[in-house]
Amino acid sequence: SQKIEQNSEALNIQEGKTATLTCNYTNYSPAYLQWYRQDPGRGPVFLLLIRENEKEKRKERLKVTFDTTLKQSLFHITASQPADSATYLCALDTSGGSYIPTFGRGTSLIVHP
């Protein structure tokens, strides 16, 4: 079956450390993968998109990697801050570059001061 897996357990880290979140998928061949941030009571906010032919993408303190062999994306936040605490969702296209991404359930990140 087709699945998108994100760790359901919250990730707790200390301020200043690097947070690494994982998104694994099975039985898809996505043309792209996206990461979103979602705060309680709010809609997701787009952060980064990485295409299948890109290994890594960076934006300020964020870094995303995409390994189509391992079927995995890693999302890193360097020098994490308490304000980074939120749920992070990965999403990928499940039908040949479709405009409609399929979302994982998200992982909660808690950054402790």
Partner 1 sequence: GAGVSQSPRYKVAKRGQDVALRCDPISGHVSLFWYQQALGQGPEFLTYFQNEAQLDKSGLPSDRFFAERPEGSVSTLKIQRTQQEDSAVYLCASSLASTGRTTDTQYFGPGTRLTVL
Size of residue set near partner 1 by CB under 8 A: 24
**At which residue do the structure tokens 């992982």 appear?**
107
Least distance in angstroms from the C-beta of 86 to partner 1: 14
- Give the integer Cα–Cα distance in Å for 69 and 17: 28
Among 41, 60, 69, 83, binds partner 1 (CB under 8 A): 41
Task: Find the binder of partner 1 among 1, 2, 27, 42 (CB under 8 A).
Answer: 42
Report the nearest approach of partner 1 to the CB of residue 82 (Å).
22
Interface with partner 1 by CB under 8 A: which range of 14-22, 66-74, 75-83, 85-93?
85-93
Cβ burial, residue 26 (10 Å; 0-12/13-18/19+): exposed
Residue for token digits 């990461």?
Answer: 35
Minimum distance, C-beta of residue 103 to partner 1, in the bound complex (Å) = 3
Say whether 82 sits in a helix, a strand or coil. helix
